[in-house]
């Protein structure tokens, strides 16, 4: 079996590539990443069971088609993911994210390779009721250029499926929490954990404290990808992958269970000035997938990892 992973060194990819050799023994795993974020550490200490080949390639600007020959499945993770930054860099996100997905989809169609792509629950935007995959496209309300581009990617893939038979499934991931070798700290849970351990105020958006949003444990994220491959689910549909829906207050309370003294600083942010939205995961659960992640456990593990950096300088040398 040959598995191609784009964006292989990112927050999700760096955990996934350690799971794949255990889930699919003797597979050849092709890792593609442009190293834009220089996460070389994601390649350190890869499982000895894996047969890895790494290629520093840019999907949009370099020829990568030959890397996909005789592949069994492609997992497309490559994307710029900082939704807040997309407000000021919409064209960059369009040129990178959408173009990359279009190129990968064309390769998979041409070579008849099943494709798993990541979308985002942020395509739902402001919603008054719990929402699921049956939500009409006209009712989707993406709140950022990042989310708008994700929806555009979904629509492009759906057209390729309907007109040309592209084999794919698109996974709408909730906001990731949990640790990985290539983890980032721009999303809510991980950012709050970093701020709490380092003694900085938790920067909470004024309108967000009691708003509910969907979150996804990194183990659940990786396990869902493995599940789709093992079950051979490439039916041209979208699936919500969400461990839980939680408010910012609930996240802060979980952090406070580990770090009692927290300072909250209320700030402004475009992306958080929206209503709550609550996302259903019943569709993927109906196929037999079980979510095992836990927000409190994920926060505990993240805090313990950061605490190992020893921010608290006992000698006070940097005060």
**pLDDT tens, 183-238?**
988 888 999 999 999 889 998 877 778 888 999 999 999 999 999 999 999 999 99
Residues 90 and 232 in one domain: yes
pLDDT score, position 28? 97
Instruction: State the residue range of the domain holding 265.
Output: 188-212+244-277+294-307
CA distance 67 to 247: 42
List the one residue out of 279, 212, 296 whose CA is nearest residue 242. 279
pTM comes to 0.91
Residues 164 and 261 in one domain: no
Which of 48-52, 164-168, 203-207, 254-258 is least confident?
203-207
The percent of residues in the chain predicted with pLDDT above 90, rounded, is 68
Q: From the CA atom positions of the chain, what is the Rg in Å?
A: 19
User: CA neighbours within 13 Å on the CB side: how many for 122?
Assistant: 23
CA distance 33 to 8: 6
The percent of residues in the chain predicted with pLDDT above 70, rounded, is 92
Is 95 a domain residue? Answer: yes
CA distance 42 to 26: 21
End-to-end CA distance of the chain: 54
List the one residue out of 292, 304, 312 whose CA is nearest residue 258. 304
Query: Among positive and negative, which fits the CA dihedral 84, 188, 268, 151?
Result: positive
Residues 140 and 263 in one domain: no
Answer yes or no: is pLDDT of 274 > 70: no
């Amino acid at each position: 079996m040959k598995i191609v992973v784009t964006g292989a060194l990112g927050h999700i990819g760096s955990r996934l590539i350690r799971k794949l050799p255990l889930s699919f023994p003797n597979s050849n795993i092709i890792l593609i990443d442009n190293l834009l974020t220089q996460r070389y550490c994601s390649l350190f200490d890869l499982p000895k069971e894996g047969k890895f080949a790494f290629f520093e390639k840019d999907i949009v600007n370099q020829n990568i088609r030959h890397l996909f020959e005789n592949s069994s499945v492609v997992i497309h993770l490559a994307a710029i993911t900082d939704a807040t930054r997309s407000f000021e860099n919409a064209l960059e996100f369009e040129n990178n994210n959408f173009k990359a997905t279009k190129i990968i989809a064309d390769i998979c169609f041409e070579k008849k390779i099943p494709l798993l792509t990541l979308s985002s629950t942020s395509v739902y935007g402001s919603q008054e009721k719990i929402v699921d995959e049956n939500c009409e496209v006209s009712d989707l309300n993406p709140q950022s250029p990042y989310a708008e581009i994700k929806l555009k990617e979904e629509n492009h893939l759906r057209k390729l499926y309907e007109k040309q038979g592209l084999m794919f499934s698109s996974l709408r991931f909730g906001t990731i929490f949990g640790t990985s070798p290539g983890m980032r700290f721009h999303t809510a849970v991980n950012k709050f954990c970093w701020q709490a351990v380092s003694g900085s105020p938790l920067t909470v958006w004024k309108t967000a404290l009691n708003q509910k949003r969907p979150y996804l444990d990194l183990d659940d994220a990786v396990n869902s990808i493995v599940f789709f491959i093992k079950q051979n689910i490439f039916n041209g549909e979208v699936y919500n992958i969400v461990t839980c829906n939680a408010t910012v207050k609930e996240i802060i309370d979980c952090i406070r269970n580990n770090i009692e003294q927290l300072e909250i600083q209320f700030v402004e942010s475009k992306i958080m000035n929206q209503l709550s939205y609550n996302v259903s995961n019943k569709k993927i659960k109906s196929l037999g997938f079980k979510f095992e992640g836990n927000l409190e456990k994920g926060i505990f593990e993240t805090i313990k990892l950061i605490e190992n950096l020893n921010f608290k300088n006992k000698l006070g040398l940097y005060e």
